[in-house]
Structure 1
Amino acid sequence: MLRNFQDLLDMAAMQDEPQRLLLVLAKTDSESTNGSSQRTGTISPVICNDKLPSEIESFAALVAEADEITQDWDLILIASLDGERGHAPSSEQAQAHLNKMVSDVQNGQDLSRYLILDRQEQVVTMRLRDGVMMI
């Protein structure tokens, strides 16, 4: 289980093939469900980008870089794309996968396949229940 963003970077470095990280920053509009800790609402993609793990110094640096573009985001969804024969995927190869991630967010698809972190680097668990995404 990943505890933080550094765990993800460490895990990416240990893979047999070089990785490219796929990042979608999203804005939430949520509310509590019947006073419980579960929340429902909408999630909208704001920015998407891809980076080699070596291009990311830390979670704080990633947040600072994103905030230079916009501070209007609450979550970051992360996936990883495997390279081949010792070469990391290019940004062009990552584009279709980024588009899929953005589409998943826009269309309310199950996001549990992605690592999701909030601005404080806390893991956010989302699951689809009865057609509604629950946080």
Structure 2
Amino acid sequence: MISSYTDLLKAADAEPAPQRLLFVFCRAELPDDASEAEKAAFANGEGGALTPVICVDKSPDEVSDFSALVEESRQTGQDWDMVFVAAMSGRGGMKPSSDEAQQPLTMMVESIRLGHLGNYLPLNRNGQAVDLG
């Protein structure tokens, strides 16, 4: 069971094939036509829609510390509430390249936009797993 970013790195390290991590940072937003009940729930940290604002791929050794990843995200000027993470396996003992990660990362962004979140690990700003169910 992965409950934190640290657990994710340990799991990636334990995989037989080298890994590349895919990150999609999202901001929680409320639609303009939200009802009063939806607005109240959103004010309590519930509901809303997750909008991807940043996506990046990294090898685990490039982001061995979650606080460094958060700091790097700050440099974009984009505010975010949650980051979704997926891992991509290499082949033949080789890490996947950033070029190889582009199509899966684009598909991940689109999947999140459509609300299909089940294949990704959601983490809060502290690097702790979030239960979306």
Q: How would you bin the TM-score normalised by the shorter chain? A: 0.7 to 0.9
Gap runs ≥5 in structure 1:
128-135
1:60-107 per-residue CA deviation (whole Å, 9 max, x = no partner) reads 111011111124111100000000010011111111110111101222
TM-score (norm 2): 0.85
Q: Specify which of 115, 118, 122 is matched with residue 121 of structure 2.
A: 115
RMSD of aligned C-alpha atoms? 2.1
Identity %: 39
| Amino acid paired to 1:23 | F
Contact 1:29 1:41 (C-alpha < 8 Å) held by counterparts? yes
Contact 2:90 2:96 (C-alpha < 8 Å) held by counterparts? yes
What is the aligned partner in structure 1 of residue 88 from structure 2?
81
CA distance change for structure 1 residues 93 and 29 in 2, over 3 Å: closer, same or farther? same
Gap runs ≥5 in structure 2:
31-37
- Equivalents in 2 of 1:70, 1:38: separation in Å? 22
Q: Which has the higher contact order (CA 8 A, sep 6+)?
A: 2
TM-score (norm 1): 0.83
Counting only pairs closer than 5 Å after superposition, residues 1-135 of structure 1 correspond to structure 2 as: 1-29=1-29, 39-108=46-115, 110-127=116-133
Contact 1:115 1:123 (C-alpha < 8 Å) held by counterparts? yes
- Equivalents in 2 of 1:33, 1:124: separation in Å? 21
Aligned length: 125
- Equivalents in 2 of 1:93, 1:33: separation in Å? 42
What is the aligned partner in structure 1 of residue 34 from structure 2?
none
Q: Identify the structure with the greater helix proportion.
A: 2
